[in-house]
Structure 1
Amino acid sequence: MSQLFPKLPLSEWVETVVDVMDDRLGFLFDLISAAIGGTVDLFHAVLTGLPFWLLLIVFTLLAFRAGKWSIALFTCIGLLLIENLGYWEHSMQTLALVLTAGLISVVIGIPVGIWCARKDAVQNVITPLLDFMQTMPAFVYLIPAIFFFGLGQVPGVIASVIFAMPPTIRLTNLGIRQVPADLIEAADAFGSTYFQKLFKVQLPIAKSTMMAGINQSIMLALSMVVIASMIGAKGLGADVYRAVTQIKIGEGFEAGLAIVIIAILLDRITQRVGKRKNV
């Protein structure tokens, strides 16, 4: 059936924009790639350079400090199991990718969320972009990431950041907007500046909501590790992907179990940090 209107050359438009960006902003993409790659390498060097037993103690104490003794016990047993199965180094590679993606999501997401909370016009523009970022299939993000940054861990982090950042922005915006108006009026009555209100009133009260957003961003970043392995990102995702392609059910289960342990560990710790009483 013939179309009533001619087909829009949307794909050609997108490719033209991408080509122009690559020609004119290639130096910027190189800087971003170097910064992200350096951050991942730094996390990986620290996590793999320290002895296993020392990291086990550090993670267990961190879990105990953040929550209950049961979380610390799970952390200890879970990490011992990962080491026993032989996935410790790959787990640290995955953790380095997740920490980098989470760090970028927080560094960018919190200021954008604060900006959205301050101006309704900004929120009206950012919200559709966040909807687009969350509803677009994750595999689609790999195409421009590969084009601009090649294969490897950097495009995997970029795709993870795009997929994981929206919850941090949304819940930062929501948390600040939910601060009681009478507290804002009291701060204004005492002559507080905008930044004094932000750092001494709004952010402390919105902390639990913001931490929920950060928690979700970390979980979404971790969920991208298998997809990122398809474009050369290392870690547990590569083990799962290799097991799927070679139909090795046992190895896939082991690598998947290691991902689950890391996910539960990060989820419980960030949840407990968000629920801790503000001083």
Structure 2
Amino acid sequence: MGNQVEKLTHLNYKEVPTADPTGMDRDEGPRIGVSYIFSNDDDELEQQQQQDSVGRDMGGEHPTPQPYDPRLQEVECAVYYRDECIYRKRGSGGQLSTYTPENLLNRCKPGDLVEFVCQAQYPHWVVYVGDFQVVHLHRLEVVNSFLTDASQGRRGRIANYLYRYKPLSPATVVRNALEQVGCKDRELSWRNSECFAAWCRYGKREFKIGGELRIGKQPYRLQIQLGDKRSHTLEFQSLEDLIMEKRRNDQIGRAAVIQELSSHLQAAEEEEEDPDLCGFPSNPQSSEDLRDKSLLTL
């Protein structure tokens, strides 16, 4: 990702709060890699809504939106920290079923995480705090909204099962969320709505900006399922970087991800088989490309 900054940059590590909400977190010394990119999730959603509104005002015709099918749109994947699976999204068993915001109100309990999804948009995560209300990171500010308003017309699901960390008590999750309401701009410690919601529920500093070391071997692996017996694995130095890539995949959709990876792997194989490149390659692959190829599972 480099060190480019889109909106906000913490000037130094001391400005990045990393305290565990349980009070057990301790400063273990300086960390490396404190230049961050904030997500434009909500910006893209509102831009799309504005374009649709302009099109209607000008009398333009838009194709009727197709019903959202998570089995076709969403990418099945798993996240590993070393050998431990810490996240898994499957399409089997109805785990990705979605509901209208009104139906979600009858299913949610305080402390639950809700993921709103829609085709060609980033997922939006919120923390349900009771009384039909949620707390979420929206346009670079932590706000308190009604669940139906936060959905912005999207369908959603309770997302407690996706991460496999041990959750904090529901009362602690709600307190973590409510205590952050009003935080914005440089006060923020999360790159997107998912990182914020997951931090509220699990209390792990890995979800925060600069919350862990970014040196040495990449300990996180994102395994993307391409088919019944075929997958592709990418490595990351931090959980927040991995989450950004996972969310990008959800935004562009399953078909685009499979096409993107297939094109990359096919090009790499053709370059490897080209006899003109044997021995003295004129354009050698990067170490990242070689790493990705070696992690392809058939």
The TM-score bracket by the shorter chain reads: under 0.3
**Bigger relative contact order, structure 1 or 2 (CA pairs below 8 A, ≥6 apart):** 1
Q: State the TM-score, normalizing by the size of structure 2.
A: 0.23
The structure number with the bigger radius of gyration is 1
Scaled by the length of structure 1, the TM-score of the pair is 0.24
Task: Report the structure, 1 or 2, having the larger strand content.
Answer: 2
Higher helix share: 1
